[in-house]
Amino acid sequence: MLVFPALLLSAVLATDSARPALQAPPPLVTWQDLCDRPSRWLGKTVRLRVQYQDRVDTWNPYLTRFGSKRFAAIQAWSDEQLPWIRSDFDAPVVRLFLQRGEACSWALGQAQSGARFELTAVVREVFLDMPWAEIQEVLPLTERIGEGTVIHASKAVELMKKREWKLAGLEVEQAITESLPAHARAELERLRAECRDAAAAAQRPGRSKIEVQ
């Protein structure tokens, strides 16, 4: 009788069944997702990807827990924002908080403007119909929208407004780099196609009246 192997096998199976299942990672959301229905996310842990702008020196915590003695704050661009558009560049919409002296504070302590991160955060409060979230984990990302991309893409947008399609297309080509995140690459490829189509149409009789939206 193979009693011992059978008992050993049953013990292994029992141990495996007693182990907790691997916990699924928090959902990956956008800042717009959080802002559209902030109460839905209250108390929940989420992941979001942002492009860092800077630390926030002062802010009004109102009635929240996020006073400046205990917490630091950062400002960042969301994935819905395209920093080559002036209004987006001037107004990064993401504000998140982190406890001073903790690991996350150290991880972001030397962050430079334009660096990209995947942040794990808990939506601690909803106030003024906005999510107030505390960063729990910081993961640096290699993808980013670099300064060169912002410069060339912003020039392209201005040239498109003037219907200088060929010159705009050249600027878009310069803006597309290997390190771009998917959403930025998709938008620049869309602009490139628009410039190419408009330039081709302008060469035909009865020139197209394609306008930049």
Say what the pLDDT of residue 17 is.
Answer: 46
- Confirm if 100 and 71 have CB atoms less than 8 A apart: yes
For range 31-58, the mean pLDDT? 97
User: Does residue 12 have a pLDDT over 80?
Assistant: no
* Owner of token pair 């190419």: 196
CA distances from 29 to 25, 38, 121, 181 (A): 12, 12, 11, 15
pLDDT of residue 206: 59
Q: Give the residue-averaged pLDDT of 153-158.
A: 98
Over the stretch 62-109, which tens digit does the pLDDT of each residue have?
999 999 999 999 999 999 999 999 999 999 999 999 999 999 988 898
pLDDT attached to residue 127: 97
**H-type helices in 43-181, by residue range?**
86-90, 103-107, 147-161, 165-175
pLDDT at 204: 79
pLDDT of residue 189: 98
pLDDT of res. 22: 73
> How much of the chain is in helix, strand and coil states, percent to nearest 5?
40, 25, 40
- What pLDDT does 110 receive? 87
Is pLDDT above 70 for 31? yes
Residue 213: is its pLDDT beyond 80? no
Res. 1: pLDDT tops 50: no
And the tokens for 118?
A: 């995947």
Please name the residues in contact with 69: beta carbons below 8 A apart, sequence gap of 6 or more.
100
> Within a 10 A sphere around the Cβ of 187, how many other Cβ atoms?
16
pLDDT digits (tens, 9 = 90+) for 113-135: 999 999 999 999 999 999 999 99
Question: Quick one: pLDDT at residue 120?
Answer: 98
Domains in the chain (CATH in brackets) are 31-141 (2.40.50.140), 147-202 (no CATH)
Supply the pLDDT for residue 5: 46
Summarised one tens digit per residue, pLDDT across range 168-210 is 999 999 999 999 999 999 999 999 999 999 999 988 775 545 5
pLDDT, position 21:
57
What tokens appear for 109 in the block?
């302590």
Across the range 46-54, mean pLDDT stands at 97
Bridge partners (DSSP) of residue 139 are 118
34 pLDDT more than 80: yes
Question: How large is the average pLDDT for residues 20-41?
Answer: 91
* Cα 47 from Cα 6, distance rounded (Å): 45
Q: Report how far apart, in Å, the C-alpha atoms of 113 and of each of 109, 117, 183, 211 are.
A: 12, 11, 19, 33
Residue 58 has pLDDT above 50, yes or no: yes
